Amino acid sequence: MKVLYLMGMGRSGSTLLDILVGSHPDSVGTGELANLVVAGRSHGDRCACGLRASECPFWSIVTTEWLSEVGPDAGAEYLRLQNVVEETGRLPWISGRPTPATPDGQRYAVLTTALLGAIERASGKRVIVDSSKNTARALALSRMPGVDLCVVHLVRDVRAVAWSYAKRFVQDPAAGIQLDQSGSALSRTALRWDLVNSQSEWVRRQLPRGRSIRVRYEDLMSDPRSALGRIGTLTGLDLTQLGEAVATGGSVPVGHPVAGNRLRMGGSVQVQPDEMWRGLMARRQRSEVRALAWPWMRRYGYW
C-alpha cells in the first residue's frame, strides 16, 4: 500500500495539501487519519462531507471492514497503542531496527496496516494521503511491512504559524472546530515549531534516500505547479493537470478528510495564501518569535 504522509507543524497547510493530492483520480485524502478512531467515537466530530464521522458512508464502510478483520474492540485498543507508539517524546530513543520490536508496536502495525487496507479497498485508490503530521507515526509507518511510504515535510514561516495558533475559536463541530481553542502564546508556538521541525528532519534521515522531500507552504502558494510536480515525482502520481488547475485559480472538491483544518468543511478549496499576519503582527511579536526560532528560520529561508 502506498501512503503519502504529510509531516510537520500544524497550521502549515497540511489539510489543503491533503485535499489537493487527494483529489487526484488515483489517490484518496483521509485527513488526519490518526484521529479517525477518536472522531468515530465522538458524536460531534464530523467528516468533511458534513456528516458525523460515525455516520459518513465512506468511513462507515472502512471502519466496518476494519473491525470485522481485527475485532470489534480494536478501536479502544488502537487508541491505547497510539498513545504508546505515536508519542513524539520517545523519538530520540526509538530503536533503529526495521520493524516495531515490542508487542505493542507489532500489534499497532497489524491494526494500522489493516486500516490502510480497508481504506484502499473502500476507495479503490492506490495512494492514501495521511496528513496526521505526527513525526512518530511517520517513523512507525516507515517500518511496517507492506507499507510503501513517501513523506512530505511541510514547513511554514514560524511567524505565520505562531499568529495562527494565537487565534481563539469557539467550538463548532459543523464548521470543523471540535473544541474551544483559547489560543497559544507566541513563544510557546515558536519553541514547538523548533522541536517539530528538528524531529521531522531526524525522521527524514531515517528514511531511504528519495522517499521524502521538504515543501514550503509559501512555495506551494506561489508556484503550485512546481510544488505539486515534486510531490508527483515522489509518489508516482501525475499531478500536472492538478498543478495547472490550481495555479489558474481552479477549485478542487473536498472528499472525506476525517479531521484537520476547518477549511475542509467548505465543499471545495482554492489555493489562496493566508498572509494576514504580515499586516497584523506587531514588530515586537515578530522579534519575540524570531529570537526563539532563528536557526531553523535561516535554514528554511525565512530569515
Task: Judge whether 141 and 112 are in contact, CB under 8 Å.
Answer: yes
Q: Output the pTM of the full model.
A: 0.93
> Averaged in consecutive runs of 10 residues, what is the pLDDT profile of the chain (303 residues)?
97 96 97 91 80 92 97 95 88 52 90 98 98 96 96 98 84 58 88 96 96 98 97 98 96 92 87 92 97 97 93
pLDDT reported for residue 53: 87
pLDDT reported for residue 174: 60
pLDDT reported for residue 176: 57
Task: Judge whether 200 and 12 are in contact, CB under 8 Å.
Answer: no
pLDDT reported for residue 262: 80
Amino acid at 268: S
pLDDT reported for residue 115: 98
pLDDT reported for residue 171: 60
Q: Collect all residues with Cβ–Cβ distance below 8 Å to 146 and sequence separation of at least 6.
A: 1, 113
Task: Judge whether 88 and 78 are in contact, CB under 8 Å.
Answer: no
* Distance (Å, whole) CA 287 – CA 278: 13
pLDDT reported for residue 97: 47
pLDDT reported for residue 182: 67
